Amino acid sequence: MARTAVLGRLEWQLGNVAELVQETPRVASLVLDVPEWQGHLAGQHVDVRLTADDGYQAERSYSIASAPEEARLGITVERLDDGEVSPYLVGEVRKGDKIELRGPIGGYFVWRGDDDRPLLLVAGGSGVVPLMAMIRHRSAIKSPTPTRLLYSSRSQDDIIYRAELDAFSAAGDGFTVAHCLTRMQPPGWRGYARRIDRAMLEEVGWPKPQNPIMFVCGPTPMVEGVAGHLVDMGFDASSIKTERFGPTGG
Amino acid sequence: MTVQQSDLKLDGNAIAGLLREIFAMEMTTAESTCAGCSKVHAVGQVEVYMNAPGVVVRCPACGQVQMRIVKGGGRYWLDLTGIRSLEFSA
């Protein structure tokens, strides 16, 4: 272990589960006390490692949901029924359990909050998690950056952080959210009721002269579709940051 | 559910932890120049396939295999033939 420290590699550390929040029927947030946590940037992730009694280990990567300013580290996990790690983290883990993790990891898909260009955040499903870290960070530092979130979910019950997003939106400090529900809409639904398309991005997004920064996170086909539309609309590829989620075993 | 090859495609963000193990530093903001088409991309942007016995990294512009990484038996095996150069902060 001493050798890895000398090389500047990330060490595995233990986080204590302080709180569990069931966000939707399939998604839960784990709020962790990590005594040796060195801090993170909004958009980074952690690797979580589970070890079975026979020594078998499985590792998965989860986006950090909490703002850098928060005392505890939050991750939000979607349960994949045939996954090796997520069914433990969503359903079996209990308050007081210890979880092995390392991080923060990543640096490409991050927003530091020191840039006044308007933000367009586009999320599909649990792709909202790293974007939520940015939204919470924006609120924590009282950033005036005009920010719009376009968030696609299957149904109203599948919207993660719904109440908190509504509260941020109601604060009137330049953050707005537009929801689209792709599979099922409640009676009287006034949001979008289709997959994210170019017309929606033109309505919700920023005009090109405002020089926005865009972060897109979700399943691969959604991310590539959205990024393709934004490039077709004339935005420079360097202003579009993408992160793909995939069925890699959960 | 039918899994399409395109659904299995991820990006360089997914191997940030693995690259950190190997290079001992944050590598998704590093810029790689493709040996096939000479285009430059941030490592966070490259195409990544993790459903093989190892990790395969391809150029998002031309599809050239840039990296192959296998970890096992306490060793790493890293093939960087498809990358002309990697540039990152000291």
Q: How far is A245 from chain B (nearest CA, A)?
A: 7
Min mean pLDDT across A66-70, A81-85, B5-9, B18-22 is at: B5-9
Question: With bands split at pLDDT 50, 70 and 90, how would you rate the model's confidence at A250?
Answer: low
- pLDDT over 50 at A64, yes or no: yes
Is 3.10.105.10 the CATH classification of the domain at A119-245?
Answer: no
> What was the ipTM of the complex prediction?
0.89
Q: Which residue has the higher pLDDT, A82 or B45?
A: B45
- Residue B10 and residue A45: Cβ atoms within 8 Å? no
Q: How many structural domains does chain B have?
A: 1
Which strand (E) or helix (H) includes residue B39? Answer: none
* pLDDT recorded at residue A2: 38
- pLDDT over 70 at A25, yes or no: yes
- pLDDT over 80 at A4, yes or no: no
Question: With bands split at pLDDT 50, 70 and 90, how would you rate the model's confidence at B1?
Answer: very low
In a domain, B35, yes or no: yes
CA neighbor of A148 nearest in space, from A124, A170, A162, A169: A169
Q: How far is A87 from chain B (nearest CA, A)?
A: 19
In a domain, B36, yes or no: yes
User: Domain span at residue B11?
Assistant: 7-86
Give the residue-averaged pLDDT of A31-52.
95
In a domain, B76, yes or no: yes
Q: How far is B44 from chain A (nearest CA, A)?
A: 6
Q: How high does pLDDT run on average in chain A?
A: 93
**Residues of chain B positioned with their CB less than 8 A from the CB of A246:** 7-10, 14, 50
Question: With bands split at pLDDT 50, 70 and 90, how would you rate the model's confidence at B5?
Answer: low
Which residues, in sequence order, are CB contacts of A224 under 8 Å at separation 6+? A242, A244
- pLDDT over 50 at A244, yes or no: yes
Residue B28 is nearest to which of A103, A106, A244, comparing CB atoms?
A106
Give the residue-averaged pLDDT of A85-96.
94
**Residues of chain B positioned with their CB less than 8 A from the CB of A7:** 24
Residue A1, amino acid: M
In a domain, B82, yes or no: yes
In a domain, B2, yes or no: no
CA neighbor of A90 nearest in space, from A22, A156, A155, A32: A22
Report CA dihedral (A240, A250, A165, A109) to the nearest 10 degrees. -20
State the CATH class of domain A2-105. mainly beta
Nearest 5°: CA angle at A151, between A241 and A115?
A: 40
